[in-house]
Structure 1
């Protein structure tokens, strides 16, 4: 049986308005849209997170700008996903640094810094967090140099060697040398300063990490100068990758190793594996001090918040929690490996 012909006589052609009529209708529709009520979201004040007693400073400090360092941002953050050439997600990364209540109150600059870079071949992610020592008036600049120079040196090294073959002592000495050179050029009368003299002006702690992105389970190498720390966040909770600051001390101390003055003792290079469902977390002591050994209220709060990667804005808010007597700058870099699909 053939396909019957349709009788188009019973289906007249639709009426097509003239161009002028079409233009008039578009104008009328546009005017109608302009006069429609607009749905608006009413903004409400954001209530910062508090763990235990937030203290009076949380509500009473009036943040003041740093008059000498207008370029120095009060708060910075990043949030992104690393993918391979096939667009498979490899890792989620969050980073943030915020000025502490003490520096806000006195109009001083944020002394913390963080940085990251993926090697040109996409194989490695290099990370650093740094914390300028509070007594140094230019320590925020030492932190910047430690991050930018250190990350660049490690990326360059990884073009030639594997993470296990990196000469960490040489790398750290080069970073220290860059800080000394910076100070000699920028500090008044500092042309002949040595590392001991420079550290009083601009010293910084630093924690560096090299993350191998080649496999679903990340191999990580970490080097620590001072008290900026590295942790694994696992299902049971927080696992420190180095000795926890003041963990066994009766009285807390702020005496720490700081670039450009390096300790002569052999440096332990930490090697760890990070699995999907876990996170590698680097932090300055603004977060590390209230975290303690990770078993208290702050540890539970951050573990619950960061069990999976939060939105980057939420990440900043979590990190900026209030707790009485903890008013230092805060900086965190976190990396979550992503489970990868099986490929035949």
Structure 2
């Protein structure tokens, strides 16, 4: 190297970037995370592998009311086999700013078009709930009618898509047969963004095994419904799913979330390894979600943690209340 080369090297600007990305692992990750080669679904080029959000909710004075993080990550199984992510989420605030509406849906894996059902349930369902809140309080919402409206939308969508695919009896097949092609669980939350005595009121309604939790003080995960398969002698993957309307109308569950806590809606891709919340996954998520992650990208990395034998799609939407000054 000549003198000019040495001078050029000395004058070269120092690196101005920093940071890095390292996947999260909880316990034994197994071999799949390092061996799976993600491939796209040739029938779903526009269905993204991972989607995420990280936003603040402000009041009229531009003060923060809460933080929202959301992510949906394609599972290792779907990445390996080249099939689309079947989970979906949605969230929106009512025009008056009072209510936050969240929808989380988990397409039933056996149905090739189940991601279409999940998209409709999460997005259209949240839209219908937000629209209803414009004229009714959350205690007056007609949840059975809203659920039936979402189920009807999935049924119509399914018949249309199957007809486009050349299924001869698409317009006349029984809804149960239609559900074999596209079906989804769904969970809705309505969060009052006006706190009372420091706590935000929450209403939850679900069809299927998508679950809601509140992370309480001390890292304690509190399920807002029965934990999946709790008390069962054998674990079962059978779930209620739209467009089949439940025989019994889903009953709203009411809870609260306060500053220092977090409300999390999640599909069973996270709920199954979380279990009752006291194991390694529960401790990991309680630690990293004790405060809002810096970004949606960081939150998505948490959602996509590696854990042996758990390879389903992962979706979570979380709300952290911000204490008022």
- TM-score normalised by the chain length of structure 1: 0.87
Q: Which consecutive residues of structure 1, in runs of 5 or more, have no partner in the other structure?
A: 1-34
Moved runs in structure 1, 4+ residues, more than 6 A?
Answer: 42-45
Alpha-carbon offset, residue 170 of structure 1 = 0.6
Partner of 1:333: 317
Q: 1:310 aligns with which of 272, 293, 301?
A: 293
Q: Name the CA distance, whole Å, in 1 between partners of 2:20 and 2:291.
A: 26
Structure 2 unaligned spans of 5+:
1-9
Deviations 1:36-88 (A, max 9, x none): 52222678873311111101101100111111111000000000100011011
- Give the structure 2 partner of residue 88 of structure 1: 63
Q: Out of 247, 269, 286, which is 2:269 matched to? A: 286
User: 8 Å contact 1:247–1:293 — kept in the other structure?
Assistant: no
Q: Is 2:237 the counterpart of 1:254? A: yes
Q: CA deviation digits over 1:302-338, x for unaligned, max 9?
A: 0001001012222111111111100000000000011
Counterpart in the other structure of 2:134 = 159
Within 2, Cα distance between the matches of 1:102 and 1:60? Answer: 12
For 1:283 and 1:206, the matched residues in 2 are separated by 10
Q: Which residue in 1 is equivalent to 2:179?
A: 199
2:30 alignment counterpart? 55
In 2, Cα distance between the equivalents of 1:60 and 1:52?
17
Q: Rate the CA distance shift 1:119–1:192 in 2: closer, same or farther, 3 A.
A: same
Would you say how many aligned residue pairs link Structure 1 and Structure 2? 310
Q: Give the alignment partner of residue 108 of structure 1, picking from 83, 106, 112.
A: 83
Structure 1 CA distance for aligned equivalents of residues 290 and 104 of structure 2: 21
Per-residue deviation, 1:95: 0.2
8 Å CA contact retained: 1:132, 1:203 = yes
Q: How does 1:153-232 map onto structure 2 within 5 Å? A: 153-188=128-163, 189=167, 190-215=170-195, 216-232=198-214
Pick the structure with greater CA Rg. 1
Task: Tell me, yes or no, if structure 1 residue 240 matches structure 2 residue 229.
Answer: no
Is the 1:247–1:292 contact (alpha carbons within 8 Å) kept by the matching residues of 2? no
What's the Cα RMSD here? 1.9
Match for residue 320 of structure 1 among 304, 310, 313 = 304
Give the 3-state SS of the residue equivalent to 1:159 in structure 2.
coil
Cα distance change of structure 1 residues 45 and 87 upon mapping to structure 2, 3 Å threshold: closer
Give the whole-Å Cα distance in 1 for the aligned partners of 2:187 and 2:309. Answer: 24
Q: 1:223-277, CA deviations, whole angstroms, 9 ceiling, x for partnerless residues?
A: 0110110000111310000111012223211000001102212422100111111
Aligned to 1:20: none
